[in-house]
Amino acid sequence: MTDIKYIKIVLGELGTNCYLVWEERFNKALVIDPADDGVGISEEIQARGLDLVGILATHGHFDHVMGALDLKLIYQSPFYCSQKDLFLLQRQQKTASHFLGRRIEVPNFSKIDIDLEMVDKISIGDISVEVIKTPGHTPGGICFYIKEAGLLFGGDTIFAHSRGRTDLSYSSSKDIYQSIKAIMKLPEETIILPGHGEETTVGREKDFYLKD
């Protein structure tokens, strides 16, 4: 069986976790949440001799996607995101400038290449990635689950002993609670790789969420 490997690259002022995921048989790779440095991520891809076949976003917040357009230009790879978060992508320059306190020169997205609302699985080489819809933090929140490797890329839905904020006008506490309930049904040894901070496991988070 082909080994599935990944590295975490922490990028940007908000400390966003970008993940480069690949399998060794065909050297096919995915980038999950390219944060704000597509060129830097491309250097990691080139250093490993990988073929980037997809750019995946767990959600549309600017700190997770600003590097996507550079990667698209360099590799001609499709950008995967939920169409429900397109409104966030279309205003990322304004949002980034607001949260970072200065004008940010980054183009807004005009479209999504592949709508994750219409996709259940993504196959690249020997990797099969299950697309789990996890709204709450944003309407189009997504988690990516690689069953054979026991990995869940959780974006900002779930962190170690925490969850994504839901005080935004388009967020939903009810939805994120249901999303986390769905994640808790995965095997307890599943490693959760969040959009910020350190990894955890489904088992640890079950203990945290069920402690009362």
> Structure pTM?
0.95
pLDDT at site 170: 96
For the segment 54-75, the average pLDDT, to the nearest whole number, is 96
Task: Give the span between the Cα atoms of 106 and 18, in whole angstroms.
Answer: 18
Name which of 82, 68, 65, 157 is nearest 119 in CA terms. Answer: 82
| Residue 60, Cβ density class (10 Å: 0-12 exposed, 13-18 middle, ≥19 buried) | buried
- Which phi and psi angles does 181 have, rounded to 5°? -60, -40
Superfamily of domain 4-209: Ribonuclease Z/Hydroxyacylglutathione hydrolase-like (3.60.15.10)
The packing angle between helices 202-209 and 173-183, to 10°, is: 130
pLDDT at site 54: 96
Residue 2: which pLDDT band, with cuts at 50, 70 and 90? low
User: Could you give the percent of the chain with pLDDT greater than 70?
Assistant: 98
Task: Give the span between the Cα atoms of 20 and 148, in whole angstroms.
Answer: 17
Residue 211: which pLDDT band, with cuts at 50, 70 and 90? low
pLDDT tops 60 at residue 108? yes
Lowest mean pLDDT across 8-17, 119-128, 160-169, 173-182? 119-128
